[in-house]
Amino acid sequence: MKILVVNCGSSSIKYRLFDMPDKSVLATGMVERIGEQEAALIQESGGKETRTVQPVPDHEEGMQLILQALTQGPGAVIESLDEVGAVGHRVVHGGEAFSESVILDDQVIASIESVADLAPLHNPPNLIGIRAAQHALPTPPHVAVFDTAFHATIPPVAYTYALPHELYEKYGVRRYGFHGTSHFYVARRAAELLGREDIHCITIHLGNGCSMAAVRDGKCIDTSMGLTPLEGLVMGTRTGDFDPAILFYLAEHGYDLAALNKLCNKQSGLLGISGESNDMRTLTQLAGQGDARAQLAIDIFCYRIKKYLGAYTAALGSLDAVIFTGGIGENAPSIRAGCCGNLQQLGIALDAEANRTTIGQEGAIQSADSRVQTWVIPTDEEGVIAGDTFTLTKDLA
């Protein structure tokens, strides 16, 4: 059974075609710069890359371009769209309505729309992608897989904010958490590697967006992102945790809501501290050349993670494993070292050589005398989406 996984952004569509149930990847690609004259489709299949540059006015045209690339030309991997048995969609926010993946219908789509104001940068593009894919592929079932679903097990003590309770009852103001498919995958893989299901672990997803989760016996009990993906760790351009009274102060100095939103989501984080870049690779290079603000951005980034490691160890009561994943987590040994330095009191100690050489691949990086195992585990969010989609639709084929 072939399953197409779609992850739709405001100006892009990422996709991957799987052959299930063995999860072999037939093709992976992306349409970028949708709405521009020089939009591009880039697809890898059969060890070759194909590229198409042409105007793509909207996501409907983007989906048609994807389906054409999968069935025609040098990158074709299927003969007919009839071979696509189901389509899985990444949806960022499911609110409290969804604690697991579901087959899409009108009621589910309406529920996703109803919480769009909780993820205004993500849910609307996700819905655009769903509708475009349904129009292009009306026959196979479509499945929604939610970033928030893995965090549905967080207890009220962890998801409730110290605000008037009617804000939760009326508007759903609470912690939801994100990157759920990534945290779920690496926590499950860590349990496999440790050979038991009852592990207490902390999963650390580090990319342009960053989050952590405390996982007990396979279930999330706390996570760093909140009502939106803004809360928690320092990120590429997002603030993470900060005093909310800063917003009132800036409002008194002329900042309106739009400016504050842009400040917190687009101009802060690593970019804001360094004044140079939101890319950790660039900052690491600049810091090596003596750039003090780049070094400060890196130090704050690691310090915040270290604080959460201590807090989540306390919340779990004991700790078996720490897992790094995401673009930074998988590929930046110096950042991992900065996050885990001087944490022997928590039982966390890295092997310098194992950490240095484990880049972009799965591997244990703890020292021989470390009580806590520390792993690098490349995430596979698309594989999780494909797996859930297959489970829900295999008997419908």
Q: Which residues are catalytic?
A: 147
Asked if residues 22 and 6 have their Cβ atoms less than 8 Å apart, the reply is: no
Closest by CA to 352, choosing from 371, 374, 372, is 374
Phi-psi group of 21: left, alpha or beta (phi > 0 → left; psi -120 to 50 → alpha; rest → beta): alpha
Asked if residues 31 and 41 have their Cβ atoms less than 8 Å apart, the reply is: yes
The number of helix segments (H) and strand segments (E) in the chain equals 15, 14
End-to-end CA distance of the chain: 8
Tokens describing residue 388 = 């859930």
The two beta strands, 210-216 and 219-223, are antiparallel
156, exposed or middle or buried, with CB in 10 Å at 0-12, 13-18, 19+?
Answer: exposed
The residue type of 202 is I
Q: Phi and psi dihedrals of 239, rounded to 5? A: -65, -40
Question: What whole-number distance in Å separates Cα of residue 183 and Cα of residue 194?
Answer: 16
